[in-house]
Amino acid sequence: MFLLGQTVGKYQILSNLGSGGFGTVLLARDTWIDKKVAIKVPHRQRADFDELLQEPRLLAALDHPNIVGIMTAERLEDTFFIVMEYIKGESLEAVLDREKSLDLARALTYGVQILRGVEHAHEAQILHRDLRPANVLLSESGAIKVADFGTSRFLEKSHATTVIGSPPFMAPEAFQGRAVLASDIYSIGVMLYQMLTGNLPYFSPNPAQIEKLVAQGRCTPPWQRNNQIPREISDIVMKSLAPEVSNRYQHASELLDDLTTAAEIDHTASEMEDIRRRLRAREVPRKGFCWHCRKPLHSRSDTCAFCGEKQ
């Protein structure tokens, strides 16, 4: 590990920005061009060189304003590290720790930017696998940047095969090592839920209990926790959190379309009726299950015949 004040090649180490399960991120200055950069030093320095290059190769395939950009990867003084753009600001996790929940407009603005970055990654068949507030950075200008692709994979098969992620943000299939692109959408749904309500849809100190709760899919809709949330937006979040992959948004672009539409309207009665029509027009008639009692619903039914809950 590099020491504060140390100069490694052309990089002067300035401070420690944070450390996670896969590496430590340092603030450094490129002394040649006098520019601050972020340096990520993976913990597993003895890993195969191709494995070390996996994250920078993934990042090199991406170029989007809502994804932290890569500058280069180097090995100096027997230490491998990745040089990335430095985002001056704070993580979404820090924002939520301080503010608990966000107002509707801000939550939707952040959600749309996260989705734009993830949509770009998904178009390249890159599955993030660890989307959570700690890996979402908010710059001083207000721009959102999705970070930490250390656990990401090119989706060369139908699904990823390793159990990786943070339990409160993992989709049911991710616990089984069968993550797909829709698993990232589930994680974004959890972040939207947390931004809107100040709570996680499911939480327990025991990961096995979280897995059980997630599989059951019985979380309280956001509008019931915060009556300022329009039902249409609450429904969008709940669809993102559907325990069955087939009932969830299949592509980031689909969720982005609905969320963008919802974010652009002024939530008055007449315009809400318009958004209801537009969102319902996207729905494909199919049988499903009541979110409350889990009993079967008829196609197009908006009220459960068993418990009377609106769907």
pLDDT in tens, 82-131: 999 999 999 999 999 999 999 999 999 999 999 999 999 999 889 998 99
Strand, helix or coil at 5?
A: coil
C-alpha span between 91 and 97 (Å, rounded): 10
Q: Identify the residue whose tokens are 């170029």.
A: 63
Q: Pairing between strand 144-146 and 136-139?
A: antiparallel
303: DSSP letter: B
Among 293, 297, 265, smallest CA distance to 279 is for 265
The CATH fold of domain 89-266: Transferase(Phosphotransferase); domain 1 (1.10.510)
- The predicted pLDDT at position 283 comes to 60
User: In 209-247, which positions are buried (b, 16+ CB within 10 angstroms) versus exposed (e)?
Assistant: ebbebbbebebebbbebeeebbebbbbbbbbbbbbebeb
Q: What is the pLDDT of residue 266?
A: 59
The domain segmentation of the chain, as residue ranges, is: 7-85, 89-266
Percent of the chain at pLDDT exceeding 90: 62
Instruction: Write the pLDDT tens digit of every residue in 149-202.
Output: 866 665 554 444 444 668 999 999 999 888 899 999 999 999 999 999 999 999
| Residue the block writes with tokens 């329009």 | 230
Choice among 97, 130, 235, 266 that is catalytic: 130
Dump strand ranges (E) for 179-286.
none
> CA 272, CA 252: separation in Å to the nearest integer?
23
pLDDT at 163: 46
The pLDDT of residue 161: 44
Closest CA to 121 of 72, 183, 196: 183
Q: What is the pLDDT of residues 38-59, one digit of tens each?
A: 999 998 898 899 888 988 888 8
Known catalytic residue at 130 = yes
Residue spans of alpha helices (H) in 88-230: 92-99, 104-123, 172-175, 181-197, 207-216, 222-225
Q: pLDDT grade, residue 294 (50/70/90)?
A: low
- Round to whole Å and give the CA distance between 193 and 191: 5
According to the 3-state scheme, what is the secondary structure of 47-115?
A: CCHHHHCHHHHHHHCCCCCCECCEEEEEEECCEEEEEEECCCEEEHHHHHHHHCCCCHHHHHHHHHHHH
Helix (H) or strand (E) holding 246: none
Percent of the chain scoring above 70 in pLDDT: 84
Residue 268: is its pLDDT beyond 60? no
For residues 210, 211, 216, 222, the Cα torsion angle rounded to the nearest 10 degrees is: 50
Structure tokens, 271? 């315009």
Q: How far apart are CA 51 and CA 64, in angstroms?
A: 24
Q: Which residues lie across from 72 on neighbouring strands?
A: 83
Please state the CATH superfamily assignment of the domain spanning residues 7-85 in this structure: Phosphorylase Kinase; domain 1 (3.30.200.20)
Same fold, 7-85 and 89-266: no
Three-class secondary structure of residue 8 per DSSP: strand
For range 30-44, the mean pLDDT: 95
